[in-house]
Amino acid sequence: MFERRSKAAFWATLLALAYGIYAITYWVGTNSSTADDAEAIGAGIATLLVLPHLLLTWLGIIFGLVGFFTRKTGFQLTAAILYAVGAVFFILYALFLLPSIVLGFVGYSAQKKVNASS
């Protein structure tokens, strides 16, 4: 599976996928457990604030998967950049994306070296 593929890019995408699943289940659970109208409005505003973060993270996951399986460095670099931009959009949860950001850039450079050597 890892023949001529970067392991760091794989782990970056896997960690981002785990975080993406966690984030979606957390926000869906938060929105479904509202008791009154004011709480529902607050949960809706919070969801709108976190939506760009979630969209950029999931877009990065898609690019990371495509980049890993096609061995294209451009997709892997785009995924790492999208993780970084997603972290900036919701700085409170940036720590959860930090390993994916670092491994994404490391995986990009490793895949570039692997592609150049073959």
Per-domain residue ranges of the chain: 7-117
**Token pair 């690019």 in the structure block, residue:** 63
Q: Which pTM value belongs to this model?
A: 0.91
Q: What is the pLDDT of residues 21-74, one digit of tens each?
A: 999 998 887 777 767 888 888 888 888 999 999 999 999 999 999 999 999 999
Torsion, CA 80, CA 82, CA 87, CA 89, rounded to 10? 160
- The percent of residues above 90 in pLDDT, for the chain, comes to 75
Give the CA distances from residue 84 to residues 2, 43, 88, 113, 114, in Å, rounded to whole numbers and listed in that order.
25, 25, 6, 22, 24
* Torsion sign over Cα 86, 56, 76, 96: positive
What does the pLDDT read at residue 96?
Answer: 95
What does the pLDDT read at residue 33?
Answer: 72
Find the mean pLDDT for residues 105-113: 96
What does the pLDDT read at residue 30?
Answer: 72
C-alpha–C-alpha distance, residues 89 and 80, integer Å? 14
What does the pLDDT read at residue 118?
Answer: 75
What does the pLDDT read at residue 43?
Answer: 81
State the chain's mean pLDDT as an integer.
Answer: 92
- Which DSSP symbol is given to 33? T
What does the pLDDT read at residue 19?
Answer: 97
